[in-house]
Amino acid sequence: MTVLVNYCCHELNAFECPALVQKLNDAQKLIEVYISQIEILNSEKETLEKYLKELIQENNEA
């Protein structure tokens, strides 16, 4: 019995639940991708806001 428990614990990782570990890793990778996309979108938003302010200022001066 001890050998079986030892085998399950150390060799099979039976109590670590590898399927859940893989799902967690996949979710973390997706989060990293989404964070990167958010940073890109925020940068584009800032650029557009600056451009819009310039256009408004030019329009007010004309």
Q: Please write the tens of the pLDDT for every residue from 4-52.
A: 677 666 666 656 777 888 999 999 999 999 999 999 999 999 999 999 9
Segments forming the whole domain that contains residue 46: 18-61
Q: Which strand (E) or helix (H) includes residue 50?
A: helix 18-61
How far apart are alpha carbons 34 and 28 in whole angstroms? 10
In this structure, is residue 7 part of a structural domain? no
Residue 12 placed within a domain: no
pLDDT at 13: 62
Considering its fold, how many domains does the chain have in total? 1
Whether 47 maps to a domain, the answer reads: yes
The structure tokens listed for 38 are 């958010």
In a domain, 13, yes or no: no
As a whole number of angstroms, the distance between CA 16 and CA 19 comes to 9
Q: Which residue has the tokens 């614990």?
A: 9
User: Is residue 8 a contact partner of residue 15, using CB atoms and an 8 Å limit?
Assistant: yes
The predicted structure's pLDDT at residue 41 = 99
DSSP H or E stretch at residue 8: none
In a domain, 4, yes or no: no
Domain assignment present for residue 11? The answer is no
Q: Is residue 26 part of a domain?
A: yes
pTM of this prediction?
A: 0.65
